[in-house]
Amino acid sequence: LRIVLALGFVCLVLAALLARAVTRPINSMTRAVERFADGELATGLPLDRRDEIGVLARCFHRMCKQIQQQIAELNCRREEMESLARHDPLTGLANRRLLVEHAEHAFASARRDNERLAVLFIDLDRFKPINDNLGHAVGDLLLKAVAERIRGVIRESDTPARIGGDEFVVLLEMIQDDVDAQTVAEKIRVALNQPFEIVGHGEEHRIAVSACIGIAFYPEDGTDMIELSRHADEAMYRAKESGRNAVAFYNLSG
């Protein structure tokens, strides 16, 4: 009887140890799966085992890495799509949608802090003949160069945008007086007056352009982006009527 009891006890101990040896890696895999399902790294897998559990753990580890890589690629593509949805694909400037988003925040801040804003409406003079004579490919390269020059003379806090064709808009925040906006507009006008060296289809073109710029201010000339853009556009046409290559204020053109 003692021998039987002793053997039974030994068998129970061995069975418990064997069960623990089997269930421990399974529990590790279960916890790893739960962590992975929660978006965390699948750590603690029994990758060094040489039995079926080790094979299963290594397969699951490879699957996790593949899924994480695919998720990273999808996130990257989503960011690219979001960027394309808010930026002009040719120049990389903000498009109309992103300009409106920035304007909403800028107007809200200006109302709260009792500050002024300015909108510059920029239109290139005689851009159509360039497209007609040199081709749209050269015209597109010119627009990209124009965008770079506009970027180069404004502050980082300002928002440049291309809203279509050869029309650009710059939203200026925290404007103290009219001279501040006029100074920025003159910098843009002078920068665009410098000849552009454009290489297209293996040929180099030296292109001279100019621009007319209209300026409108918040709150004097408009209380939202739509009204301010319309008035800046009207001021720009006043500049064109005065002989092109000029800057005009809306409140002087009204």
Residues serving a catalytic function are: 166
Distance CA 2, CA 8 (A): 10
Distance CA 22, CA 28 (A): 11
- Going through the chain in order, the beta strands assigned E by DSSP cover 116-124, 159-164, 167-175, 196-200, 203-207, 211-218, 247-249
Cis peptide leading into 46, omega within 30 of 0? Answer: no
SS3 200: strand
Question: How many residues are present in the chain?
Answer: 254
Name residues whose C-beta falls within 8 Å of residue 94's C-beta, 6 or more positions apart in sequence.
Answer: 86, 87, 88, 102, 159, 160, 161, 162
Name residues whose C-beta falls within 8 Å of residue 190's C-beta, 6 or more positions apart in sequence.
Answer: none
Element (H, E) at 188: helix 178-193
Q: Is 129 exposed, middle or buried (0-12, 13-18, 19+ CB in 10 A)?
A: exposed
**Centroid of chain to Cα 47:** 41
